[in-house]
Amino acid sequence: MSIIRRYHSAFLGAAIVASTVTCVIAALSGAIAAAVIAVGPAVLVLTVIVAERLGDSATRDAVVEKMVEQTEASRKGVIYDRDTGLFAPWYIALRGEEECNRATRYERPLTLLAVEPGPEADAWAVYGSMALWLRQHLRTVDVAGYLGNARFVVIMPDTSVAAAENVVARLRGDFSDAQTALSSFPEDGSTFERLHAVARERLGKVVEQAA
């Protein structure tokens, strides 16, 4: 056995041990679902080792591909909100800062849009449809996130307020009661936190006036 294969086997063995320990801890703590999930990686890694020993490269490659798929699914589960398919709050804040830094570096416009169902709408009946609209009608460069409590935010790089207002008009065409507010870089702020705070303040005023 070559030194590469020896280290590879050692790594896979460690992965099995780690997964098994995780399974045991989860089971002892009463988290049965977590214990079942922890078994998955261990079984896959064990299958890779057996396939290697038997020289079954087809099985090994198939299992490795499955492991990559599971890793990607886990990554997406952290980045995306499970219910809406939009970016999670922590990730939208991270991307927001990245886009603000990019706008600063290249002196490009950027507009932030805050969206909520209107006061007359049943927020929990509408927010799913609104999330779907945001996934289907924005540009690929736009970054849409769900903040919880039927609140959405969209970061639109290289977009002026006038251009963003066209998006708002289309959104309101399908959701007439939607409450929206815009903030622009750098006039309203140079950070995501500040831009979002300004948009939220304006959105509050819009909701207050509508009431």
- pLDDT computed for residue 78 by the predictor: 85
pLDDT at 76: 47
What does the pLDDT profile of the chain (211 residues) look like in tens digits?
454 445 445 444 554 444 544 444 444 444 444 443 444 555 555 555 555 666 667 765 665 565 555 444 444 458 999 999 999 999 999 999 999 999 999 999 999 999 999 888 888 889 999 999 999 999 999 999 999 999 999 999 999 999 999 999 999 999 999 999 999 999 999 999 999 999 999 998 765 554 4
Give the separation between CA 64 and CA 53, rounded to whole angstroms. 15
- C-alpha 179/C-alpha 49 separation (Å) is 56
d(C-alpha 44, C-alpha 61), whole Å: 11
Compute the distance between CA of residue 64 and CA of residue 135 in angstroms, rounded to an integer. 31
CA separation for the pair 196, 188 (Å, rounded): 10
**What's the pLDDT at 51?**
55
Domain boundaries, the chain: 3-78, 89-210
The pLDDT score that the predictor gives to residue 123 is 84
The pLDDT of residue 36 is 39
Query: Is it true that domain 89-210 has CATH number 3.30.70.270?
Result: yes
